[in-house]
Structure 1
């Protein structure tokens, strides 16, 4: 009997220890589940989604995944609210203030903080705000609300993290993507001369742009450029914007990134402004496509990769301000990200709703993003996605250009020699080359200005239709290159 009691005591003791161990294990598991994923795990999931599905969107991920990225991104969150996915415009959303108050009250409840301690920004034009969130429960509660359009990490540095774990990313130098201040001696084979003393880039003749100038030079049309700014040292994009055969127009420069002015600190924006609208000068330097168009240039980013919260907010601001500018007809942006950003998407939709014709770069690869198709926001239906192709082709992308079903037009920008398109340099009196889908986009925006200047009473859709009708594949669409190259002479006749 004593032996039986002893054995039972041992059994219950062992069983009790097992239950206690199991409970402790459950606690450890629960705690582990509440730990944020590592940046490496987050990036791996993003890459997998793009490779498998062709796209990545925070909306498709779990609360824990989104919160983990928020945690790894300085706890900054971008929230889009509204009664439907297209309810982005405050002026057309009568309930926006009430919805915003409801969102703020939920954050206050779950964060245990006053509004002043978590609200960073409330957009005056869009149903969008930036906040600081620490708790996963807050993210879950927000995503369950019926009037929430998106809850996204606002400052998750995908490329910075990728460089830590991916040798190819580290070697690509994504931190200075698209930047450069060099100057080059132009090959005489890469341009022809025109009065008064300007150089016409070789690519222009491939699209019959010089012949089109007999009908239109872009006069009266204003293009908005969203990029890294314009060099303060390049006088042809400053005090000499009206020089040579260019006259009666204006150039304006705004800085909405980091409050440090409108001056280009990268070099990319200067080159885009050049190919788009540089004057038909008497300085022996490259001329732009629409050399009599007006230009409004926004410095909205450090480089072409829209990685940080400050860059994404600045781009959103540039789109909304250009959208509200009734003088602007065309917007061009040769920057982007490999996945969608809600606040930028709102800005693009806002500008589009104001009748703007928007051109965005289809993508230029770094050594570790060659698996990406058409980048954001060129992937949006509200934009015209542009890519670069090799000389004398309309279906052979340049060595670093992206292609895909979302491409709308192409522009020849790469020669057999490897040379690209001559443009103004960052420095006064000097020239350089620029390639990729970036220059293709800026050039196509200039082409649109020529068409619109020839037909000033036309709508965006009429201009776009004429451009399509004047392109290689019309009335068909190539599966990877859209309508192809535009015959600009045909487009302005």
Structure 2
């Protein structure tokens, strides 16, 4: 279903992977004639030209000069993935990982001409390090090493630069899948009241979710949510998580995001959502079947572990990318977690995030990622990173009563695995809890489609707790519109959840 193509996310994104094979591990004398790095405007222009001419951009295909310029302009921080092969990402499976890391650092020391203040971070689970590099010679020498899987700028902010050049808004709160603290009076036509006094969104009936609750409500399943955190002001996602018909479950909130423009800054800024996006995703997948007249989530008896991994849905900076990497590796190592859902991404593939996704997949996690949602800032349409990765299930939103008409801002493509109806003919999207108590709102795009599908997976797995990830996935596929022959742009389509849990 998946192929590596250029694409973008909810407020945008794309792909790009790196490998350099069969190159000698030597430290040759490097002669460099160009000493001044390209400007940020020039770097973005080369990236955009690649996208226009080939449909994609990847740092692995960039010239040494372009790559070094981007590293230099990105606070001189580079991300390096090392290992004996492209798939050698897990430190625990690489007995020589320390020796290889030291070999990489020796090359950096030689060409940088210094011995200390080189390593910003060395990941304890992945064969990945973040280093300070100032010289183009160092980039060239590293790219000639056979044990380098990827070498990328770790803090080059493409979208911020595009904003400055074009006056665009890359991180708009105006998108239904972006940030926002708004609340809205729900239209009575967009929900049905169910016992004890919860609002079941219209989409639940389109997917037979309310009927499926007779068989499964998500009990015993823990979902990991990688997003912008969860509001501390919404008690139904806090100390009232077990309100109404929801009981015996937990919500755990973690924060792994450093709110600073400087990559060397430390200190997480907490687990609380400061965007609003993560709160809505948590609501869509697992809000309680409450007695307060508020929207209920798909798997209202599933447990949640939520991560504030980024400030926004666009992972355009060192701390956001690093936060996502940490969230995935921690969830991977948590034996209670069965499912991971993320509705964020970036304009390029990010090697450290790729590694973390692969790491989580290797631990048996079922991973759902948003296929992409556009705003006026986005000029392209397609499936975004990391949703295009074969280790993830890419989800997009479609219009009411269809499985092959994407929502007005949703992306589609060959990498899509499932769809979810989230846009009504009236224009309404999905009712969810708002940021504040006793308030509701609507949320749309591939973001809510992804969170809802993660909730569906929890219902299926809860009904069949001894099943493997592949058995759960196969049941979801078998219960969807296009099984056994997936659509070229919409995967298996909409899931009939009642059929999936019977």
TM-score (norm 1): 0.92
2:371 is aligned with 1:362: yes
2:304 is aligned with 1:303: no
CA contact (8 A) 1:50 1:372 kept: no
CA contact (8 A) 1:159 1:174 kept: no
Query: RCO higher in 1 or 2 (8 Å CA, sep ≥ 6)?
Result: 2
Q: SS of 1:33's equivalent?
A: coil
Partner of 2:87: 86
Partner of 1:8: none
Quickly say closer, same or farther: Cα 1:175–1:198, change in 2 above 3 A. closer
2:452 is aligned with 1:451: no
Q: SS of 1:483's equivalent?
A: coil
Partner of 1:17: none
Unaligned runs of 5+ in 2: 1-30, 259-267
Quickly say closer, same or farther: Cα 1:301–1:394, change in 2 above 3 A. same
Identify the match of residue 344 of structure 1 among 353, 366, 370. Answer: 353
Partner of 1:73: 74
Residues in 2 aligned to 1:349 and 1:191: alpha-carbon distance in whole angstroms: 38
Residues in 2 aligned to 1:173 and 1:166: alpha-carbon distance in whole angstroms: 18
Quickly say closer, same or farther: Cα 1:311–1:369, change in 2 above 3 A. same
CA contact (8 A) 2:97 2:127 kept: yes
Post-superposition Cα deviations, 1:300-352, rounded to whole Å, max 9, x if no partner, equal 00010001101101100000000000000000000001220000000000000
CA contact (8 A) 1:56 1:340 kept: no
Identify the match of residue 444 of structure 2 among 435, 438, 441. Answer: 435
Post-superposition Cα deviations, 1:268-326, rounded to whole Å, max 9, x if no partner, equal 00000000000000000000000000100000000100011011011000000000000
Bigger Rg, structure 1 or 2: 1
Partner of 2:160: 160
Aligned length: 463
Residues in 2 aligned to 1:126 and 1:241: alpha-carbon distance in whole angstroms: 34
CA contact (8 A) 1:338 1:372 kept: no
Deviation at 1:168, TM superposition (A): 4.1
2:389 is aligned with 1:397: no
Residues in 1 aligned to 2:321 and 2:491: alpha-carbon distance in whole angstroms: 28
2:491 is aligned with 1:491: no
CA contact (8 A) 2:177 2:373 kept: no
Post-superposition Cα deviations, 1:212-238, rounded to whole Å, max 9, x if no partner, equal 000000000000000000000100000
Residues in 2 aligned to 1:309 and 1:114: alpha-carbon distance in whole angstroms: 23
Quickly say closer, same or farther: Cα 1:102–1:171, change in 2 above 3 A. closer
Partner of 2:278: 269
Higher helix share: 1
Quickly say closer, same or farther: Cα 1:309–1:139, change in 2 above 3 A. same
Residues in 2 aligned to 1:429 and 1:380: alpha-carbon distance in whole angstroms: 38
Deviation at 1:52, TM superposition (A): 3.8
CA contact (8 A) 1:119 1:130 kept: yes
Quickly say closer, same or farther: Cα 1:68–1:164, change in 2 above 3 A. same
Q: SS of 1:120's equivalent?
A: strand
Q: SS of 1:34's equivalent?
A: coil
Partner of 2:255: 255
Q: SS of 1:399's equivalent?
A: coil
Q: SS of 2:152's equivalent?
A: strand
Deviation at 1:419, TM superposition (A): 1.1
Quickly say closer, same or farther: Cα 1:54–1:492, change in 2 above 3 A. farther
Residues in 2 aligned to 1:386 and 1:289: alpha-carbon distance in whole angstroms: 16
Greater CA drift, 51-60 or 415-424: 51-60
Matches within 5 A, 1:89-108: 89-108=90-109
Matches within 5 A, 1:82-481: 82-115=83-116, 117-169=117-169, 178-258=178-258, 259-481=268-490
CA contact (8 A) 1:177 1:303 kept: no
CA contact (8 A) 2:173 2:180 kept: no
Deviation at 1:37, TM superposition (A): 1.6
Partner of 1:14: none
Deviation at 1:260, TM superposition (A): 0.9
CA contact (8 A) 2:176 2:445 kept: no
Deviation at 1:50, TM superposition (A): 3.1
Residues in 2 aligned to 1:460 and 1:349: alpha-carbon distance in whole angstroms: 14
